[in-house]
């Protein structure tokens, strides 16, 4: 049935309009079938499209995490990755992807830091725009998030991000502005937090004045999930869609607000129009309502994922040319992340991958003689039990049975039976016709058989209540006494433990009894509402850490080459909580120190989304930062280690020596509901360079198996843009890629400004011995101007500006200059319009155009 937005809007009843202001469930908008308006599906998508289910979902392509994408510094490759997400969304029946995330990384401790691209707004905004262009090339609409200053997880729904207007404009709003300018995303998602006293979802300044009026955004604005806190204020501010549904803050309350004239009909119509416009925009996709979820796993998908993951790996250090390793020599693979695929971070970025290649598996495909030892455990929570259990049918995992009544009820009715491959069951989107509320009971059952006689440790964490029984013996109790923890987006308990000696070859009956979230004995007020909640069951054989470390050292001495795979995982970096510190898991540092001491041909591979401390750095010859690499993480790591890929990644954020060195250290986390952005514009490298503070690795750093030379810098005036042109030569023997990074410094500003700020970049691929001329274009306005709080405007001062070019923030050997002048009358250029083609900007620049080169 063909329909038009204006016609439908005129024919909608008030009840239909109100229904369109909220979702109908976790992932779908409301339909109006009598007028031909369908329901459309949204899906999480920072690094892959999960579909409609956290619980027992359909497998998907998992891209590398945001910081890995940021480390590619490759606009075209990131756009390809976005197009892959669009294709995945169509397969999952989704018309809208909830991504990309373009928030700033104030601190290494941010729980969702791995989701974002960079500490620099230009890099984050540029790659965010590439992602959106890729996604929307398929017809699927992207959602930039989280608008704005959602830069920590601690008390994220109530904390007030108190930030100067200058820092807000120059740092935190900038990536969103760039994405809007360069890609026109279909949707924007508001942050959970307040910004200078007002929740982002209720801020007319942010949603109307800046996003729509200044930047020209014409899409739909939705809340983050359960991030709508008021009825009238949010609608008047321009929050079009409350998610998820059913509504808890709109619905009948909208009628009450209309009756009290806190809302007027045109307020409702404005939001409804934006919802209808979005539904109409995705109509050509032809996705039916409640479409089945399918997969598009293919060799082409795998190859693209492998290319992206490999392009983001950063060669941090390579003393004595330890890397690349030989495939013919013996290799020891050691470490907690070796036989474990750390493919993504936790929270809404997590998904069930088509597959996940471990580093050990990838390395075994390359080298002939590979030996393995774990060396040290790296788990925050015990590994999932499901890898050790089987159902009565012999499948790996457990059988889940669902009941409406608690275990003590006689002859209770079983309403469902489901096979679960993982003992981590997040039931927020589990549905069954007989379940009319979030209150019900679950049992997981299976058998576990140990290959050797050993003591095993078991654990249970819940958003609900639960107990673990082995052969009818209570082993773990997370019901009688519960302690708040950070599981399940901060709404769950701490992990509770128990242990048991198990005999080799004997099958043991495993039974887990669980009551859903309403049965919890405490409430975490600041946590997100998770409906039925969930449970996580872990199990691991107890090992002696000293004996295991000694065995790893002995193995390292017996081989030619050693690869240590260490780092973090989705347990350490996740939505719902921030990291406590910057350290690797316990015993990892001791393992790396001991192994590198006995074999100099050791390469350390760190997987994390954000920086970690490296007390062993000075004695380590080779180091890779491999991030969370998605489905192909193990293959990509092996490709770089053995030279099948020449590393070309560059750090998208600075790696400080200690968390105490970070500019946000004294002001991170919420205190009595407020977070002071005391570092102002001095985020990341801007701070380290201003204070001349040493870092472990600077922003933009990344080595190669080849060498590159940049020379002959020319600075050209190209109207509204500046063009930096440089000659780049691959002077080595290996084909590779280099990133030309262009920074700008104002020589004599009237206010404090950073020593340099990234303004543009370009990645260039060169065969051995090849030379190319590389041009980097960037807008004059944002190359020179800063936000003046007195004038509430961008201004450009008459001054000389240095253009600094190199391959990291700390290495910019090429220098050129630009000079910008004043208008007649002697006033500095005042640039209110944020668009690049501002007529006022042109008038300012015509007064004096000088481009010189030292």
φ, ψ (nearest 5 deg) of residue 251: 55, -130
Q: Reading across the β-sheet that carries 160-162, which strands appear in turn?
A: 198-199, 194-195, 160-162, 674-676
CA–CA dist 836, 782 (Å, integer): 9
What domain count does the chain have? 3
Give the three-class secondary structure for 507: strand
Instruction: Based on the fold, state whether residues 314 and 342 are members of the same structural domain.
Output: yes
Would you say residue 564 lies in a domain?
yes
Instruction: Based on the fold, state whether residues 352 and 489 are members of the same structural domain.
Output: no
DSSP string, 530-584: -TT-EEEEEEEE---HHHHHHHHHHHHHTSSEEEEEEE--TTTSBTTB--S-SPP
Instruction: Based on the fold, state whether residues 574 and 618 are members of the same structural domain.
Output: yes
φ, ψ (nearest 5 deg) of residue 498: -160, 165
Give the pLDDT confidence score for residue 387 in this predicted structure: 84
CA–CA dist 728, 513 (Å, integer): 64
Would you say residue 339 lies in a domain?
yes
> Catalytic: which of 74, 151, 160, 224?
224
Pure H helices in 238-386:
252-259, 265-281, 299-312, 359-364
CA–CA dist 725, 624 (Å, integer): 31
Would you say residue 671 lies in a domain?
no
Give the three-class secondary structure for 752: coil
pLDDT, tens digit (0-9, with 9 covering 90-100), for 602-627: 999 999 999 999 999 999 999 999 99
CATH number reported for the structural domain that contains residue 550 in this entry: 3.40.50.1700
CA–CA dist 533, 778 (Å, integer): 48
Number of neighbours of residue 730 by Cβ within 10 angstroms = 25
Instruction: Based on the fold, state whether residues 520 and 454 are members of the same structural domain.
Output: yes
Would you say residue 698 lies in a domain?
no
Contact (CB, 8 A) for 830 and 840: yes
φ, ψ (nearest 5 deg) of residue 547: -65, -40
CATH number reported for the structural domain that contains residue 471 in this entry: 2.60.120.260
Give the three-class secondary structure for 165: helix
* Cα dihedral 330/334/610/546 (nearest 10): -150
Instruction: Based on the fold, state whether residues 550 and 619 are members of the same structural domain.
Output: yes
Residues whose CB is less than 8 angstroms from the CB of residue 1 and which lie 6 or more positions away in sequence, other chains included: 35, 36
Bridge partner list, 736? 766
Would you say residue 835 lies in a domain?
yes
Instruction: Based on the fold, state whether residues 749 and 800 are members of the same structural domain.
Output: yes
Number of neighbours of residue 686 by Cβ within 10 angstroms = 26
Would you say residue 23 lies in a domain?
no
Degrees (nearest 5) of the Cα angle 225, 228, 232?
A: 155
Instruction: Based on the fold, state whether residues 445 and 340 are members of the same structural domain.
Output: no
Degrees (nearest 5) of the Cα angle 374, 377, 379?
A: 135
Give residue for tokens 């007319």.
204
Would you say residue 670 lies in a domain?
no
pLDDT, tens digit (0-9, with 9 covering 90-100), for 202-260: 999 999 999 999 999 999 999 999 999 999 999 999 999 999 999 999 999 999 999 99
Give the pLDDT confidence score for residue 820 in this predicted structure: 82
The residue among 513, 541, 569 that closes a domain is: 541
pTM of the model: 0.93
CATH number reported for the structural domain that contains residue 777 in this entry: 2.60.40.10
Q: Would the CA dihedral through 326, 327, 329, 332 be positive or negative?
A: positive
Token pair for 154: 């601690």
Instruction: Based on the fold, state whether residues 771 and 810 are members of the same structural domain.
Output: yes
DSSP string, 459-504: EEEEESEEEEEETTEEEEEESSS--B-STTTTTSBPPEEEEEEE-B
Instruction: Based on the fold, state whether residues 535 and 551 are members of the same structural domain.
Output: no
Q: 603: domain range?
A: 299-380+544-641
CA–CA dist 524, 535 (Å, integer): 16
Would you say residue 729 lies in a domain?
yes
Instruction: Based on the fold, state whether residues 713 and 844 are members of the same structural domain.
Output: yes
Contact (CB, 8 A) for 575 and 347: yes
The residue among 506, 541, 576 that closes a domain is: 541
User: Is 25 labeled as catalytic in the residue annotation?
Assistant: no
State the maximum Cα–Cα separation within the chain, in Å, rounded to a whole number: 91
Spans of the chain below 70 pLDDT: 1, 524-529, 821-854
Contact (CB, 8 A) for 249 and 281: no
Instruction: Based on the fold, state whether residues 440 and 519 are members of the same structural domain.
Output: yes
Give the pLDDT confidence score for residue 833 in this predicted structure: 45
Instruction: Based on the fold, state whether residues 569 and 432 are members of the same structural domain.
Output: no
| Residue (of 3, 4, 2, 5) closest to 275 by Cα position | 5
The residue among 475, 510, 541 that closes a domain is: 541
């Amino acid at each position: 049935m063909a329909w038009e937005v204006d016609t439908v809007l005129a024919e909608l009843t008030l009840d239909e309009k109100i229904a369109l202001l909220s979702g109908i469930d976790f992932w779908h908008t409301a339909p109006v079938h009598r007028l031909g308006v369908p329901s459309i599906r949204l899906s999480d998508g920072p690094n892959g499209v999960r579909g409609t289910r956290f619980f027992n979902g359909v497998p998907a392509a998992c891209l590398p995490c945001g910081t890995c994408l940021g480390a590619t510094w490759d606009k075209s490759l990131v756009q390809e990755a976005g197009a892959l997400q669009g294709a995945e969304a169509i397969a999952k029946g989704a018309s809208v992807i909830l991504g990309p995330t373009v928030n700033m990384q104030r601190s290494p401790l941010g729980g969702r830091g791995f989701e974002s691209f960079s500490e620099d707004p230009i890099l984050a905004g540029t790659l965010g725009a590439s992602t959106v262009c890729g996604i929307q090339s398929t017809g699927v609409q992207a959602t930039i998030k989280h608008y704005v200053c959602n830069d920590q997880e601690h008390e994220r729904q109530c904390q007030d991000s108190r930030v100067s207007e200058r820092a807000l404009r120059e740092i935190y709003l900038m990536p969103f502005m760039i994405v809007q300018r360069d890609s026109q995303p279909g949707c924007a998602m508001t942050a959970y937090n307040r910004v200078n006293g007002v929740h982002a979802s209720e801020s007319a300044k942010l949603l109307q004045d800046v996003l729509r009026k200044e930047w020209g955004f014409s899409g739909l604005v939705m809340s983050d999930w359960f991030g709508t806190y008021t009825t009238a204020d949010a609608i008047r501010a321009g929050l079009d869609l409350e998610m998820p549904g059913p509504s808890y803050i709109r619905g009948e309350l909208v009628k009450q607000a209309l009756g009290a004239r806190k809302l007027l009909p045109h307020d409702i119509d404005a939001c409804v129009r934006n919802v209808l416009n979005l539904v109409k925009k995705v109509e050509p996709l032809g996705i039916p309502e409640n479409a089945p979820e399918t997969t598009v796993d293919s060799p082409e998908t795998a190859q693209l994922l492998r290319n992206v993951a490999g392009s983001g790996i950063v060669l941090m250090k390579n003393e004595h040319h330890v890397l690349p390793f030989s495939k013919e020599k013996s290799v020891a693979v050691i470490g907690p992340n070796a036989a474990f695929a750390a493919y993504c971070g936790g929270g809404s970025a997590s998904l069930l991958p088509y597959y996940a290649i471990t580093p050990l598996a990838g390395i075994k495909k390359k080298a002939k003689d590979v030996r393995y030892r774990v060396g040290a455990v790296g788990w925050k929570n015990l590994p999932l039990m499901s890898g050790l259990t089987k159902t009565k049918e012999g499948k790996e995992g457990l059988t889940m049975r669902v009941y409406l009544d608690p275990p003590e009820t006689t002859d209770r009715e079983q309403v469902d039976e489901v096979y679960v491959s993982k003992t981590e069951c997040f039931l927020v989107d589990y549905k069954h016709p007989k379940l009319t509320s979030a209150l019900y009971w679950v049992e997981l059952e299976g058998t576990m058989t140990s290959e050797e006689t050993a003591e095993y440790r078991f654990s249970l964490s819940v958003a609900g209540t639960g107990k673990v029984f082995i052969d009818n013996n209570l082993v773990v109790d997370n019901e009688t006494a519960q302690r708040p923890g950070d599981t399940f987006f901060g709404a769950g308990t701490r992990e509770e433990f128990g242990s048991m000696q198990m005999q080799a070859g004997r099958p043991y009956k495993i039974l887990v009894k669980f009551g859903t979230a309403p049965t919890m004995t405490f409430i975490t007020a600041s946590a997100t509402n998770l409906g039925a909640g969930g449970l996580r069951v872990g199990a691991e054989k107890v090992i002696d850490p000293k004996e295991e470390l000694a065995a790893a050292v002995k193995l390292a001495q017996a081989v030619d080459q050693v690869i240590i795979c260490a780092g973090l995982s989705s347990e350490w970096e996740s939505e719902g909580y921030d990291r406590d510190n910057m350290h690797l898991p316990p015993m990892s540092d001791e393992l790396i120190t001991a192994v590198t001491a006995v074999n100099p041909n050791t390469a350390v591979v760190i997987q994390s989304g954000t920086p970690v401390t490296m007390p062993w750095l000075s004695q380590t010859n080779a180091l890779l930062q491999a991030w969370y690499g998605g489905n192909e993480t193990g293959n990509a790591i092996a490709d770089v280690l053995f030279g099948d890929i020449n590393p070309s990644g560059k750090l998208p954020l600075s790696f400080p020596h200690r968390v105490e060195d970070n500019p946000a250290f004294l002001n991170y986390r919420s205190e009595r509901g407020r977070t002071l952005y005391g570092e102002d514009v001095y985020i990341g490298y801007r701070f380290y360079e201003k204070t001349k503070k040493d870092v472990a690795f600077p922003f933009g750093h990344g080595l190669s198996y080849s060498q590159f030379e940049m020379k002959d810098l020319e600075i050209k005036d190209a109207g509204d843009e500046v063009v930096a042109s440089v000659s780049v030569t691959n002077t080595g023997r290996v084909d590779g890629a280099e990133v030309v990074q262009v920074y700008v410094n104002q020589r004599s500003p009237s206010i404090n400004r950073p020593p340099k700020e990234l303004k543009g970049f370009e990645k260039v691929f060169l065969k051995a011995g090849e030379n190319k001329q590389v041009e980097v274009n960037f807008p004059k306005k944002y190359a020179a101007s800063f936000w003046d709080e007195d004038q509430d405007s961008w201004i450009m001062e008459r001054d000389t500006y240095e253009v600094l070019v190199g391959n990291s923030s700390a290495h910019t050997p090429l220098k050129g200059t630009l000079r910008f002048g004043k208008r007649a009358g002697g006033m500095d250029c005042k640039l209110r319009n944020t668009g690049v083609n501002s007529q006022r900007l042109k008038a300012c620049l015509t007064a004096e155009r000088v481009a010189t080169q030292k």
